[in-house]
Structure 1
């Protein structure tokens, strides 16, 4: 993890022009996850939120946040202070369900880092608690507000691509030998850790597959059992989806992609960040002409759309765009594909 400074937490975060109707008090319960730094920066830059503090017991991470001048608070205050409306859970993956349950049970709206748990039993407890407490539960799949991804999903839903018969996605990265023990905490390895980001749009588009097959392989030349080279195939009545995800590729970012193939054409998002979207249609449909075309997209900043949606839904007391039922199906598919 890079060293933290005051500037780190505001760098590259867009300005929010619209003043909020009121400030929403938010706290972070855990901040050891790799996405925590970026989310704290986004929350601090969003005028809809007021960051009350961060709960982090690990001395290594706590010292870094303190050095950056960020407020640290106790777990008890985060859960018991009635002025804190929202808790963002950015603890280690093995703690997600426990911390998410604690925050929901305390009556807080929750942004919960993905995956929400490593088993269905704890996932159901968290989701049932959100229903019982009538609180918002937003899972941290980082591309749900990605313009390019949403435009290609919309083209598929509207039928502009024709009948969908194939979806392919790749989500590779490169990790160090020192990182491998942490990523090897779960049997699903890389499929569970990062493949989840591709299961999210596919399952929300096509739903639960009729059959799931996966190969979770240890290909790296290391003395461990990390499933570092993985493939999953989701079979639907009239379509196939294939996800590949590995931790062995140098310079992997430009190769991350999502591709949707239909009988009237193709939508390809490659790379996903910064996004390049091409649509190629046999016949014009919706706003798209026939032939190959590149779609103009705004620069993508992770987490901005997530917390903007969460703020709107808290203030306006309306549901999130992804339902709890959809979250359950997504988690079931991810765990089965991850052999968990």
Structure 2
């Protein structure tokens, strides 16, 4: 992997460096104590949801403040929910907060990895929203820094903690579906003119920004693909450059996975799906986050019968609560994160390839 120069990261300030010694080897909090956490950024599409989750888990987390690359954005954010009442501070001030152990990084995509690097170097565990920037090499260096500092990076792929996907991952892991030969997934919507403009900044378009969730799930089930083939349409060119209609094929020795991302679809949300078929059964989740599952098995498995059955699985808590509940257990030393560095790097490489993005040093 190409080693990046330090200039490609935001320089860690003196205040953050000073906090490193106090934080990097800090003892894990006890089960009964709250974890001090902060958030950097309000620009990511999931930023408000992540803050809402942390504040709702008030027995687990103490949110100490909100920081941003642009302090004016943070000052405006604290005038509305879910940021109301939070202390606004610079990134350096946040990272120097006594006892701080974790940071949710929720900046715009291009700032995610440089900001995360500051947090890791200051000794923080991080929740890093997706996707992990435009450069595989930069993300690789971030992962290496986290390993060196014995810090956790939890990627914000939201399907990981959805009950339907938890069942799917169990079914695949335990062999309920036999040899898996086929995965077919789709995640689309009808993009507004404003969203088209925002996403056109990224060469990888919707596959990069949105369907990365699906690719994370594919790699969870099948591992790193042997090859990724991307098909990209920019239907409004030359009016805009947004990659709005995309297909990726992830190739494996005995399986293929197809992932679609279509931002031209007025019925995109109800059509979002993830389906898996193997020699021992099949499982389909549709709509994607609904918890509605069709499960078919050639043999009974646990509580599930042979044949076809429909399941309605309900989520406990909010959309992102599971992520931060799990992260707390990792920070407290009660468990290891189920998705390791090798997985996250394999996902990011597949995301970049599926998006048709160049794999050079800068990723741009």
Q: Identify which of 332, 335, 338 aligns with 2:352.
A: 335
State the alpha-carbon separation in 1 of the partners of residues 334 and 151 from structure 2.
10
Contact 2:40 2:106 in 1 (8 A): yes
Residue 189 of structure 2 aligns to a residue whose secondary structure is: coil
State the alpha-carbon separation in 1 of the partners of residues 150 and 268 from structure 2.
40
Q: Identify which of 42, 64, 68 aligns with 1:52.
A: 64
User: Are 2:76 and 1:63 equivalent residues in the alignment?
Assistant: yes
1:60 Cα offset (Å)? 4.8
Q: Deviations over 1:43-76 (max 9, x none)?
A: 0010200011111326356313234333212211
Contact 1:66 1:72 in 2 (8 A): no
Residue 63 of structure 2 aligns to a residue whose secondary structure is: strand
Q: Identify which of 299, 307, 330 aligns with 1:313.
A: 330
Q: 1:162 to 1:317 in 2, by over 3 A?
A: closer
State the alpha-carbon separation in 1 of the partners of residues 294 and 220 from structure 2.
21
1:183 Cα offset (Å)? 0.4
Q: Deviations over 1:290-326 (max 9, x none)?
A: 2210124123632111100111111226421111111
Residue 115 of structure 1 aligns to a residue whose secondary structure is: coil
User: Are 2:316 and 1:303 equivalent residues in the alignment?
Assistant: no
TM-score by length of 1: 0.90
Q: 1:318 to 1:291 in 2, by over 3 A?
A: closer
Matching residue of 1:147: 163
State the alpha-carbon separation in 2 of the partners of residues 116 and 144 from structure 1.
16
Q: Which ranges in structure 1 are unaligned for 5 or more consecutive residues?
A: 1-18
Contact 2:157 2:216 in 1 (8 A): yes
1:106 Cα offset (Å)? 0.5
Matching residue of 1:277: 293
Q: Deviations over 1:179-199 (max 9, x none)?
A: 222201121101100110000
User: Are 2:339 and 1:322 equivalent residues in the alignment?
Assistant: yes
Matching residue of 1:186: 202
1:142 Cα offset (Å)? 0.6
Residue 339 of structure 2 aligns to a residue whose secondary structure is: coil
1:214 Cα offset (Å)? 1.1
Q: 1:60 to 1:314 in 2, by over 3 A?
A: closer
Q: Deviations over 1:71-102 (max 9, x none)?
A: 21221111222321101100000001100000
Of structures 1 and 2, the one with the larger relative CO (CA 8 A, separation 6+) is 2
State the alpha-carbon separation in 1 of the partners of residues 271 and 252 from structure 2.
26
Q: Identify which of 26, 32, 36 aligns with 1:25.
A: 36
Residue 178 of structure 1 aligns to a residue whose secondary structure is: helix
Contact 1:254 1:273 in 2 (8 A): no
Matching residue of 1:214: 230
Contact 1:220 1:248 in 2 (8 A): no
Contact 2:66 2:74 in 1 (8 A): no
How many aligned residue pairs are there?
A: 322
User: Are 2:216 and 1:200 equivalent residues in the alignment?
Assistant: yes
Contact 2:291 2:312 in 1 (8 A): no
Q: Identify which of 260, 263, 267 aligns with 1:247.
A: 263
Q: 1:318 to 1:153 in 2, by over 3 A?
A: closer
Matching residue of 1:160: 176
User: Are 2:132 and 1:116 equivalent residues in the alignment?
Assistant: yes
State the alpha-carbon separation in 2 of the partners of residues 58 and 193 from structure 1.
25
State the alpha-carbon separation in 2 of the partners of residues 322 and 93 from structure 1.
21
Matching residue of 1:95: 111
Q: Which runs of 4 or more aligned residues in structure 1 lie more than 6 Å from their structure 2 counterparts after TM superposition? A: none
User: What is the 5 A alignment of 1:230-245?
Assistant: 230-245=246-261
